[in-house]
């Protein structure tokens, strides 16, 4: 029997994570230190990986092979159970797994690492911190263009003035209130098309309500 088989058997968990190579590298160094057998295990689940994830996984598999790992795969949605069961059947003595430092639901819901530690029994679980944050960087807020702001305010004021003038003429001629409101609605649509953002059309809509209710209707009562 190979001396390695009587001593240590190290298992590293494969994943599509960009930082998985760091986990594999750490496990590879442990293999050298303990003169151990080396297995890289991937647990397939019913969740279909994206094209990008499949490519990263293939790269990580090749990385593990280049460092002498035997590649194995099992299938099951309970990833922790599959890892522990494989470890038990294959006489694994040490499991190397990564853990993200990103906080969130992991404070409430048990993570893969939590489950492995709880079910590992006599198998040692080595946790390698995932120092690479793969979350997209927050978008920087664009600086406010004061010139564009002034232009949009001027455009809104001009359109509102024109629609108010037309509405007043319609009022004097005797058009129905619904026709006058259609003029204002057209004005709001024009403002929405020629200005940036929704704020201008919303503010204009509020001003129209004020003008229509307190100006034109007041004139109608005279």
Q: What is the pLDDT of residues 8-28, one digit of tens each?
A: 999 999 999 988 999 999 999
Are 94 and 36 within 8 A, CB to CB?
yes
Domain limits, CATH 3.40.50.620, in the chain? 3-130
What is the band of 106 on the pLDDT scale with cuts at 50, 70, 90?
A: very low
Strand order in the sheet with 94-100: 70-75, 37-44, 9-13, 94-100, 124-130
Give the whole-angstrom CA distance, residue 49 versus residue 186. 48
Q: Residue 127 forms beta bridges with which residues?
A: 97
The widest CA-to-CA distance across the chain, in whole angstroms, is 108
Question: Would you say the pTM of this structure is higher than 0.95?
Answer: no
How does DSSP assign 40-75, residue by residue?
EEEEE-SSPPPHHHHHHHHHHHHHHHHTTPEEEEEE
CB atoms within 10 A of CB 128: 18
- Rounded to a whole number of angstroms, the distance between the first and last alpha carbons of the chain is 108
Query: How does pLDDT run across 121-174, given as a tens digit for each residue?
Result: 999 999 988 655 445 555 555 566 677 778 877 887 888 788 878 877 877 787
In CATH, what is the architecture of 3-130?
3-Layer(aba) Sandwich (3.40)
Query: Alpha-carbon distance 49 to 117, whole Å?
Result: 26
């Amino acid at each position: 029997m190979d001396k390695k088989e009587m001593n240590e058997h190290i298992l590293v968990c494969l994943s599509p994570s960009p930082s998985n190579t760091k986990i594999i590298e750490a496990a590879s160094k442990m293999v050298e230190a303990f003169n151990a057998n080396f297995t890289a295990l991937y647990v397939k689940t019913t969740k279909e990986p994206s094209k990008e994830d499949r490519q990263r996984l293939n790269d990580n598999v090749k990385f593990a092979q280049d460092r002498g790992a035997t590649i194995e795969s099992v299938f099951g949605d309970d990833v922790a159970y599959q890892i522990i069961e494989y470890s038990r059947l294959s006489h694994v003595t040490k499991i190397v797994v990564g853990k993200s430092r990103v906080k969130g639901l992991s404070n409430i819901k048990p993570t893969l690492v939590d489950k492995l530690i709880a079910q590992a029994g006599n198998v040692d679980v080595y946790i390698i911190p995932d120092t690479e944050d793969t979350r997209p960087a927050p978008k920087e807020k664009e600086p406010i263009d004061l010139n564009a702001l002034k232009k949009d305010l001027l455009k809104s004021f001009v359109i509102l003035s024109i629609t108010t003038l037309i509405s007043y003429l319609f009022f004097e001629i005797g058009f129905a209130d619904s026709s006058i409101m259609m003029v204002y609605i057209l004005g709001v649509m024009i403002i929405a098309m020629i200005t940036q953002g929704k704020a201008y059309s919303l503010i204009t809509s509020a001003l129209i309500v004020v003008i229509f209710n307190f100006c034109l209707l007041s004139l109608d009562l005279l």
